[in-house]
Amino acid sequence: MWGWEQLYFNVKDGYLEAIVRGHKSGLLSVPDYNNLTQCEALDDIKLNLVRQQQQPPTATDYGAYLANEASPLFTSTIVDRCTRKLVDDWNMMRCQADEKLAKFLDFCTYGHMIDNVVLIVTGTLHERDVQELLDKCHPLGMFDSIATLAVAQNMRELYRLVLVDTPLAPYFSENLTHEDLDEMNIEIMRNTLYKAYLDDFAAYCTQLGGTTAEVMTDLLAFEADRRALNITLNSIGTELTRDDRKKLYSNFGLLYPHGHNELSIAEDFDQIRAAMEKVPAYASLFNKLGYGESQMLDKLLYEEEVKRCAACYEQQFHYGVFYSYMKLREQEIRNIMWVSECVAQDQKSRVNDGIVFLF
């Protein structure tokens, strides 16, 4: 029964909820993005994020991370430093979390862990240096034995030698371990793992109950639906069969099960649109797109995600604020990356195509 958490939530988790709300208030606002879009070079973007020259000197949350970066700057450098801010905040909260919240925070990072596993395995398939691949991994998805992924020759070894001792072990099915390692199978492995992870995360949140279950069910359902949509869009015209495509869809969400049936047989964007528009929550999204137009879809989906994450903060005493903070911060980093790319490529007229304002 929701509402009882008002009595006991702050005993263990009140401090960290306050911390995460403080981090959330440090996210960039519309005036900040207006200043960034006026920049002519990457050094200007850095100066705007550091902002020490104003009186009184004020800095964004990234000030300390970018202040000592020397020219020439690259987009990847800016993104790396901004990501470091998220990682430091997350690790600080994780260190001080109690058991239940710590498990929740760990769940939030398993997606990054899956991405890191795929990065290492793909890079090893391509005979890249392991240390070079480790440098490219997301810090939030690291685990102790990640470097030993390079010795695995197929998925069975991948599971038996390395992943059996990681949190991803339950997500490996018997079917998955019989596959050999090539690009297609690795991508199927990624999506299969992510599907199992989302199902498990949703089950854990439901078990937590209360406002956390209510908020996280909505957020994870949207995530599952968005992944189903992206898998469908990206698999059109590829060798992925309809049955294989359907196996990658999660077992929950607004599209489950009828929407998934229609998406699995869709062959072009208009058929996908027809399937999505049957869900009222997504019909408004697709109404903003012209027929056959799919380039703006990513931005619309991010806007919807940001809207849902920002709405989380209207309620107190739940863990959804932590998940939302991660998503909002990642969107902000994505915005900064987009502005940086547009400035670097002299495409400033297109800069507003990708910025999703958080507030």
Of the pair 216, 231, the CB lying nearest other proteins is at: 231
| 3-state SS assignment for residue 166 | coil
Cα–Cα distance, 181 to 218 (Å, whole number) = 35
Query: Least distance from C-beta 141 to other proteins, angstroms?
Result: 7
In the bound complex, what is the minimum distance in angstroms from residue 124's beta carbon to other proteins? 8
Q: How far is the CB of 58 from other proteins (least distance, A)?
A: 28
Least Å distance, CB 317 to other proteins, is: 28
Instruction: Report the C-alpha gap between 293 and 302 in whole angstroms.
Output: 17
**Under a CB-based contact definition with an 8 Å cutoff, are residues 45 and 38 in contact?**
no
Nearer to other proteins, 211 or 235 (CB): 235
Could you give the residue ranges of the DSSP H alpha helices within the chain?
Answer: 5-25, 30-37, 42-50, 63-66, 75-96, 99-125, 130-136, 155-157, 183-208, 210-235, 242-247, 258-264, 269-276, 280-287, 297-312, 320-344
Give CA–CA dist 178/157, Å, rounded.
10
64 or 233: whose CB is closer to other proteins? 233
What is the distance between the alpha carbons of residues 39 and 47, in angstroms, rounded to a whole number? 9
CB of 90 to other proteins, least distance (A): 13
Query: Least separation, in Å, of the C-beta of 179 and other proteins?
Result: 9
DSSP string computed for 25-64 = HTS--HHHHHHHHT-SSHHHHHHHHH--SSSS----TTHH
Q: Interface residues with other proteins (CB under 8 A)? A: 76, 111-112, 114-116, 118-119, 122-123, 125-128, 132-133, 136-138, 141, 153-154, 156-157, 178, 180-188, 190-191, 230-231, 233-235, 238-240, 294-295, 298, 330, 333-334, 337-338, 341-342, 345, 347, 350, 354
Q: Are 299 and 351 in contact (CB under 8 A)?
A: no
C-alpha–C-alpha distance, residues 73 and 213, integer Å: 43
Instruction: Please identify, using beta-carbon distances, which residue of 214 and 298 lies nearer to other proteins.
Output: 298
Neighbours of 100 (CB within 10 A): 14
And the tokens for 98? 């109690």
Given the complex with other proteins, which of 207 and 349 has the nearer CB atom?
Answer: 349
Amino acid found at 87: V
CB of 117 to other proteins, least distance (A): 10
CA distance 148 to 163: 10
Instruction: From residue 348, give the alpha-carbon distance in Å to each of 48, 62, 247, 352.
Output: 16, 22, 41, 8
Which one, 216 or 333, has the nearer CB to other proteins? 333
Nearer to other proteins, 16 or 119 (CB): 119
Q: How far is the CB of 358 from other proteins (least distance, A)?
A: 16
Q: How far apart are the first and last CA of the chain?
A: 31
Residue whose pair of structure tokens reads 């994450």 in the numeric block: 309
Nearest distance, CB of residue 217 and other proteins, angstroms: 22
Residue closer to other proteins by CB (options 58, 347) is 347
Q: Which is nearer to other proteins, 188 or 198 (CB)?
A: 188
